[in-house]
Amino acid sequence: MAADSSELSRVLQSLASVESGLDEVAGVAERLRNEILDFAEQEAKKLKSEVLEELSKQQARLEAETREAAEREAQEIIRRGEAEAARVKETVSKKFDDAVSLVVDVLLGKRGI
């Protein structure tokens, strides 16, 4: 019976040792799980920051391109407006000269009204 008791004691001691080992493995697994979660969170924050920075750069680039296109369009409109104003001024000047000639001819009796 002493042999059975000694055998039982050895089995219980082995089971306690296995249980202790499992507890240690569970602790290591939990620590590694937390490390992985922390790492994943840090990487997610880093990637979010990089994406936001890239989006900001793209937005600035698009705004600059849009502004440049609008400025080119505005310059073209101004150029066309100035050309049209010069044409109108020339037409008015010619018509004014024609009107002055007509008034002078009428006053001098060269033409009838």
Write down the pTM of the prediction. Answer: 0.54
Tell me the domain boundaries of the chain: 1-85
d(CA 98, CA 90): 12
Chain segment 57-83, per-residue pLDDT in tens: 999 999 999 999 999 999 999 999 999
pLDDT > 90 in the chain, percent? 66
d(CA 17, CA 11): 10
- Asked if 74 and 68 count as a contact pair (C-beta separation under 8 A), the reply is no
d(CA 81, CA 87): 10
